[in-house]
Amino acid sequence: MSSAKAQELMEQVRREVAVANFQELLSQINKKCFEKCVPKPGVKLDSSEQTCLQRCSDRYQESWNVVSNAYLRRAQKENAL
Amino acid sequence: MNIPTQDLDEKSKAELVQFVENEQRRANFQSTVHQYTDTCWDKCITKVKPALDKSDEVCLTNCVERFLDSTILLLNSLGAQQGGHRK
């Protein structure tokens, strides 16, 4: 598409989709990992809680990718996408 | 958002519509993946380990597959009920 306005618009839409996805991911990770890693909130996050949160976040993102691939494969098989 | 479509020729308009549909599809797909990860994480990942192992991955994959099977089964049985009620 030649119009610079249109290019700009498409870039904005792409960005908004990416930001919404990131916010949803962050919110889920915070919910799941806080539950797992901080069972009894103390006066501050201790180092083992911080390590757990970091690990948990990495595992959640890996899980997201596994789920995404499984769903994509299935959707392609069912020709639903 | 103010879309200046009057500045665009027909070909560009068609491209823009296609683009928006694709982005919509991408957003829907990601939203579904968030929902399935939410459900399957609770079922499959009981402990936070240094890495996902093979059995975690198998569990997550099976979870997605069976969740979709359940959706289809329930959809069909509710559909049959609906059909029954209408008769």
Look at B29 and A20 and tell me if their CB atoms are within 8 Å: no
Q: Which residues of chain A have pLDDT under 50?
A: 81
B29 touches chain A (CB under 8 A): yes
Domain ranges of chain B: 9-86
Look at B48 and A36 and tell me if their CB atoms are within 8 Å: yes
d(CA A7, CA B16): 9
Nearest to A14 by CA among B16, B32, B14: B16
Q: What are phi and psi of B50, to 5 degrees?
A: -65, -20
CATH architecture of B9-86: Orthogonal Bundle (1.10)
| 8 Å CB contact between B23 and A17 | yes
Range of the domain at A64: 4-78
The count of domains in chain A is 1
Residues of B in contact with A63 (CB under 8 A): 37, 40-41, 44-45, 52, 56, 60
Three-state DSSP class for residue A81: coil
Look at A13 and B23 and tell me if their CB atoms are within 8 Å: yes
CATH number, domain containing residue A44: 1.10.287.810
pLDDT digit string, tens, across residues B68-87: 999 999 999 998 888 766 54
| 8 Å CB contact between B26 and A75 | no
pLDDT digit string, tens, across residues B13-56: 888 889 999 999 999 999 999 999 999 999 999 999 999 999 99
